[in-house]
Structure 1
Amino acid sequence: MRKIRNGRRILIICCLGSLLLSCKQSKQPQVIDSDCAGNTKFLIGCGIYDITGPGAERGMLGYGMMDQTTAGIHMRLRSRAFVIASPCNEQRVVFVSADLGLLFQGVKQTVVEKLQQTYGDLYSDANVLLSATHTHSGPGGYSHYTLYNLTTFGFDPQNFEAIVEGIYQSIVRAHENLAPGTIAIATGELLNAGINRSSEAYNRNPESERRQYAYDTDKTMTLLKLMDSAGHDIGMINWFAVHATSMGNDNHLVSGDNKGYASYLFEKLKDADYTEKKTFVAAFAQSNEGDVSPNITDGSDGGGADDFESTAISGSKQYEKAVELYDQANELLIGGIHYRHTYVDFSNVTVEPQWTDGDSSYTTCPAAIGKSMIAGTEDGRGFGKEGWTLTEVQNQWGVFLANPVRSPCQGEKPIVLETGTKKPFPWTPQILPIQIVTIGDLALLAVPAEFTTMAGRRLRKTVTKGLKEFGIKYVVIAGLSNGYGGYVTTKEAYDAQHYEGASTHFGPWTLAAYQQEFHRLAVALKQDTSVAPGPTPPDLSDHQIDAQPGVVYDGKPVSKEFGSLYTDADSAYKRSETVKAVFWGGHPRNDLKIQSTFLEAQMRQDTAWVTIARDWDPETRYMWQRDACPPTFSCSLVTIQWTIPTNASPGTYRIRHAGNWKSALDGRIRAYSGLSREFRVY
């Protein structure tokens, strides 16, 4: 930390008139848009679109495990978009919750560019808020910054384009579905859904501060119920702080984890149809989950027999609370829509004394990572395996220091990687966006980081105080939004240098810098003044390298066709049993099947086959593996599993697999399909 001693500070206040004998600090007037006073009417549009990336041989993002690569699909990933406009002041905002590990700046930049190509200046950085659910079971390689592409061997344009296009399409759908409506809000406590995985660091915070709260994690779920002018349900958004790490670091199937599962349940309750442009959309969005784990049993176990069951347990808890709050929600949001957005270079923020120790100013530091980050967390180990020394980690990766260094600015952090000073470009972003969006009397604080419990509480308190006179009643942290700059913890917890402190990139005064800069946005909102856009973040899209080869060709045994059976299903199953069929197939990267499916469980009804489950339903599994199969040496075996629901109707069923294969002769990609035998369910 760089300390700046202050002399006696003189606050210069404008005096009104030459007869004023003493200067007093004047209270800023309350600025609330008079046209929106008492307003409860909005224009609301909801949209959802598939963002599932490569389902095979692509490194996954979240745990930092090089050997954790995709090998199938548990559930599809989706972007859930909401466009909300207030006719009373002609302002609008976009909120997106995407089933992603992180929301990188390159994604936000490209999505906004596409929106502006379509809609002109109607949408911009300032009024578009993109947020990630933080699933650790999605493919990576979609950042423009080196650190986050290490486990994926570089940038993956296929995944990046799938994510950008899917988010864009979800917003387009929401825009096209805009119609008059109202928004009701409800809050409530959800207990036994998360634990503080870093309680020792949390307990470093002042006892007097900790006594203000009943728990060491935030238990409040805040929910919005979106209705059209006739009172019909059209959508739901809630924010609840818990990591999406019910699926562990040995999982290889793409999954939305507990938040994706909860969204699926709520959307199923409301008869959502993912193939339709207009349907009910339910977002289980992320908040200040930095130190909150869903693995409540012993810090690494979510209570299920396996990761899939743990995901269902955690997701069901969030879903059930959301249903309860949704049914109770009757308080309408009141007011208009406002927003403020700016970019901040967090590597060099001078933080004033009111946000530090009350005596001195300090500055933040160029981004750096501490050694505890390498080990990972109780949810799952990271770049190094248990028992490894730093030398072994350095030998594996070649980028981390075997002998940590110290920096006066970074304080207690033993640095193993200085990402902010890498050339020609930093390995992690330093110019980051911050944003406040108000919808009626609700304020969303869009933070490009993972805030811990107490860090989030302090930031909320800062902004709540600043916006109280603006008519704001509810303040929510929208975590992992618009970019990603690591963790943010309190200085007290930072000094403990657990995983969260080691991952707080900009030093011990990072939270204080966020408080200061968000306070400035809040003041601008309250005073109805504009804010400077801040420094322009670099566009690194032309500086990306993908070191992983694509699909060269697909092979098959000479006597087989693509879609032929390797192992057929059995002839009959009881309900709750699992059907399994294995096919000779193609590589899933040939066609991601966006808005489609690699599998169908079908039931015969009269003379027709009706699809009752697809690869986005959690009772199914699409699993891919490579098979040598000489002499072609490039075969794919595709395993389809369907666990029959206990309420399935007795009858005749079959499994259908659809895929694409790439020719070694002409390089063309062609479609294929295959069927299991018909089997009876009783």
Structure 2
Amino acid sequence: MPLLQSYIAPPLARDIALAMRSFIQDFTNRAVFCLGAFLASTSLLSDGSQTTMGIAAVNAQTQYLLGLGIGDITGPVVETNMMGYASLAQTDTGLYMRQRSRAWIVADSSNSSNRVVMINADIAMGDTGIRRSIVANLSATYPDLYNNANIALISTHQHSGVGGYLENLLPQITSLGYVKETADAIVAGTVKAVLMAHDSLAPGTLSVGNATVVDGNRNRSPSAYLANPADERALYEYDQDKDLSLLKFDDADGNARGFLSFFAVHGTSLYENNTLVSGDNKGMAAYLYEAMEQPDVMPGNNTFVAGFTQSNVGDTSPNTLGAYCESPGESYDGMLCEFNTSTCGGATEDCHGRGPAFEISDFASNMIIAQLQVDGAQAIMNGTASTAPIEGNVRAVHTYLNMTWHTFTLPNGTTVQTCPPAMGYSFAGGTTDGPGAFDFTQGDNSSQPQNPFWEIVKGAITPFPDAEQVACQDPKPVILNTGYAHTPYNWSPGTVDIQMFRIGQFVMLIMPGELTTMSGRRMRNAIRTQLIANGIVGDDAYVVIAGPANTYAHYVATQEEYGVQRYEGASTIFGQWTLDAYIDKYGSLVSYLADNATGAQPPSDEAPPDLTGEAISLRTGVVFDSAPLFKSFGDVVADVQSSYTSGETVFAQFIGANPRNNFRLEQTFLSVDQDVDGAWTMVRSDSHPSTTYNWTRVDTITGTSNVDITWTIEDGTPAGTYRIQYFGDAKAIGGTITPFVGTSSNFTVS
């Protein structure tokens, strides 16, 4: 069988990285959260890369019951902190593209109760509370079909979405606590997507393939990667996984219904100064592919569902040009950042990763990284890259693992243990996608006392680590001892979801954190070996990683990378044996994926506590909206011009109201309408990348605000007469919310 690789290397391709943050104003940190769902191949080549070569041909491919769905999960697009960079200053002001959840169901055709649900959500990471609510909704509707074992909540790990939805306190700090509206929107849209997938279940077939996307990512911590053994590194051509793996969904007649792909690149193409809600590069890739398949269907109404899921994303970046010093007036301005610490003049603040279209805009870079993933997926879907059929039973296994002082035995017989969660000093140093602040840097594994000032500050935020915790986390110098911080509720998770899906010879490791490149490789190889050794699958096993999913437990670095203590090592919260603990636990559960498995689930630690009842929020609600004297909501403040040509941007400003009054899920805040034979037809919505929606508060006391809407006219737009409409909802002093519409003057496009 030919090597299943298609090389995608357009002229521009770089990536941009995670954007974790360090401390902010009141000495709290800004965390960043990533990991992803990565689909890796099965047979290892001599250079260590993975392909589907070796998957045996089958005489009669198994038919599965397949379902696909999509739902709008966009929460409050203004006055809410964004999730990912954990920057207090990054408060959303509008909408670039809606966030969505996409769902895929695979069921055995012979026994449809054996099924799995894969959810790929345009959010920064999975969350225990969100998943709990989704499982509760679905199991209440179909108690015999959907349960805690067979539902996976995987994230695209984008950094431009609405925040405040995670249960634990640390990621809530910059959002001023828990934002229930965000959580509710994610749950509602995700449940809708799964129910749509359920209702669309029909016989079909599956196949798997992979393409090589050379320019789509970059390692943002190459000095840590180099700490891994040289002979291990020599197995691989790159210090990043370049394979995009894809699970193709066809109907019984062989027509494509959609796919779920896996490629490791951070959702940080849009920088930390962006305040428009978006799905970043993976959300954009999904839009581009779905629009290509169904060009006449409005986004969100499509039945072809394209999934771009994360993999071992931990040390990846879409800033493919590299990290440079942006330090005007300094001698090092424009130079590459220092290799080991990612600093400029000894500080992290001016070291920034650059995307492939850096000189144009981060939005242009976002489009390039998205298109690279689209090209890779298209090569597989169109047959340019080979695919192999999937055949076999559907199985799911899930358990909870308390990672606090978890003791286990390494393959060499040594007994080791994980630690209560803690963040290291280099966590506060951030990354080249989101630099830290103050005097924190990456690569800080000093055993000497840190800055005395910060030693005092860290004790004021979380309890000082005791000798046992210090020894366990060594060589990580602890700055936030979150495993011991429980006021007003748990700062970090101590218990994580362990989950695996098997569909024939295709196995998904659904991970509760962000694995680095080498961590992902070790994880896949180890579990694949155990699957084959236990007779669960044959030599054609195809093992992939998906995450950060279900619970967000930060990073998973190798033991060697942990010793370097760059951002990823400092954010490996359970200590240096975290990866080995996961390999041990996932490996112990492979028997539950066997053909003769009864469906019974393994023993489990206690589930994480439900923290939503204790959640606090310091955000204020919408008090009221008002229009200026002698004006009405929706009135035009700045009107359009009379005519435009392709490439120009149409602008209109309206008297607005707070969009938190109505998220308009499955609807839109705006439309671009075309006059077609005397009737207005919507041709663009707020889900198109050619439009933007910006909300600005004019006066807090009077409750007045404006809304700016833009449309950049794409090449090929039909000549004709157009208008822009704005859809808003105003809240009166008494609390009544009333919808309204604003309409621009007509204009022509020539």
The offset of 1:395, in angstroms, is 7.1
1:667 to 731, 735, 738: 735
One-letter amino acid of the structure 2 residue matched with residue 147 of structure 1: L
Task: Tell me which residue corresponds to 2:381.
Answer: 326
The offset of 1:360, in angstroms, is 2.1
One-letter amino acid of the structure 2 residue matched with residue 674 of structure 1: G
How many angstroms apart in 1 are the aligned matches of 2:474 and 2:83?
Answer: 29
Q: Identity of paired residues, percent?
A: 39
CA contact (8 A) 2:642 2:746 kept: yes
Which residues of 2 match residues 427-506 of structure 1 at below 5 A? 427-468=491-532, 469-471=535-537, 473-506=541-574
Task: Tell me which residue corresponds to 1:86.
Answer: 108
Larger CA deviation: 318-327 vs 400-409:
400-409
One-letter amino acid of the structure 1 residue matched with residue 416 of structure 2: Y
Task: Tell me which residue corresponds to 1:557.
Answer: 628
Larger CA deviation: 151-160 vs 80-89:
80-89
The offset of 1:121, in angstroms, is 3.4
Which residues of 2 match residues 112-511 of structure 1 at below 5 A? 112-271=135-294, 273=297, 279-299=303-323, 300-304=353-357, 305-328=360-383, 330-354=387-411, 358-382=412-436, 391=453, 399=461, 407-423=470-486, 425-468=489-532, 469-471=535-537, 473-511=541-579
The offset of 1:87, in angstroms, is 1.9
How many angstroms apart in 2 are the aligned matches of 1:62 and 1:392?
Answer: 24
- Provide the secondary structure at the position in 1 that maps to 2:689: coil
Task: String of CA shifts for 1:637-680, please: whole Å, max 9, x gaps.
Answer: 1110100001111111111110101012x210110111111111
The offset of 1:635, in angstroms, is 1.3
How many angstroms apart in 2 are the aligned matches of 1:404 and 1:342?
Answer: 30
- Provide the secondary structure at the position in 2 that maps to 1:122: coil
- Provide the secondary structure at the position in 2 that maps to 1:423: coil
Q: Which runs of 5+ in 2 are unaligned?
A: 1-57, 324-352, 443-450
How many angstroms apart in 2 are the aligned matches of 1:626 and 1:235?
Answer: 41
How many angstroms apart in 1 are the aligned matches of 2:630 and 2:507?
Answer: 63
Which structure has more relative contact order (CA 8 Å, sep 6+)? It is 2
How many angstroms apart in 1 are the aligned matches of 2:616 and 2:262?
Answer: 36
One-letter amino acid of the structure 1 residue matched with residue 388 of structure 2: E
CA contact (8 A) 1:394 1:401 kept: no
- Provide the secondary structure at the position in 1 that maps to 2:288: helix
The offset of 1:523, in angstroms, is 3.6
Q: Which runs of 5+ in 1 are unaligned?
A: 1-35
Larger CA deviation: 285-294 vs 345-354:
345-354
CA contact (8 A) 1:99 1:260 kept: yes
How many angstroms apart in 1 are the aligned matches of 2:108 and 2:551?
Answer: 26
CA contact (8 A) 2:287 2:299 kept: no
Q: 1:662 to 1:387 in 2, by over 3 A?
A: farther
The offset of 1:397, in angstroms, is 12
CA contact (8 A) 2:72 2:300 kept: no
Task: String of CA shifts for 1:32-71, please: whole Å, max 9, x gaps.
Answer: xxxx996520000100000001110000111110010110
**Corresponding pairs, count:** 641
Task: String of CA shifts for 1:10-35, please: whole Å, max 9, x gaps.
Answer: xxxxxxxxxxxxxxxxxxxxxxxxxx
The offset of 1:386, in angstroms, is 8.2
Task: Tell me which residue corresponds to 1:16.
Answer: none
The offset of 1:359, in angstroms, is 5.0
CA RMSD of aligned residues (A): 2.3
Q: 1:604 to 1:313 in 2, by over 3 A?
A: same
- Find runs of 4+ consecutive structure 1 residues off by over 6 angstroms: 275-278, 385-390, 392-398, 400-406
The offset of 1:626, in angstroms, is 0.9
Q: 1:393 to 1:287 in 2, by over 3 A?
A: farther
How many angstroms apart in 2 are the aligned matches of 1:148 and 1:386?
Answer: 19
Task: String of CA shifts for 1:182-216, please: whole Å, max 9, x gaps.
Answer: 11211121101101000000100000110111110
How many angstroms apart in 2 are the aligned matches of 1:420 and 1:174?
Answer: 38
One-letter amino acid of the structure 2 residue matched with residue 303 of structure 1: P
How many angstroms apart in 1 are the aligned matches of 2:452 and 2:727?
Answer: 46
How many angstroms apart in 1 are the aligned matches of 2:635 and 2:179?
Answer: 31
How many angstroms apart in 1 are the aligned matches of 2:381 and 2:530?
Answer: 29
Which residues of 2 match residues 578-589 of structure 1 at below 5 A? 578-589=649-660
Q: Does 1:646 align with 2:715?
A: yes
How many angstroms apart in 2 are the aligned matches of 1:161 and 1:397?
Answer: 35
Task: Tell me which residue corresponds to 1:6.
Answer: none
- Provide the secondary structure at the position in 2 that maps to 1:408: helix
Q: 1:395 to 1:661 in 2, by over 3 A?
A: farther
Task: String of CA shifts for 1:374-419, please: whole Å, max 9, x gaps.
Answer: 1211111257698998958987996379999970000111111111
Task: Tell me which residue corresponds to 1:540.
Answer: 611
- Provide the secondary structure at the position in 1 that maps to 2:181: helix
The offset of 1:115, in angstroms, is 0.7
How many angstroms apart in 1 are the aligned matches of 2:584 and 2:355?
Answer: 37
CA contact (8 A) 2:61 2:389 kept: no
Larger CA deviation: 655-664 vs 38-47:
38-47
Larger CA deviation: 136-145 vs 392-401:
392-401
TM-score (norm 2): 0.82
TM-score (norm 1): 0.90
One-letter amino acid of the structure 1 residue matched with residue 617 of structure 2: D
How many angstroms apart in 2 are the aligned matches of 1:565 and 1:278?
Answer: 32
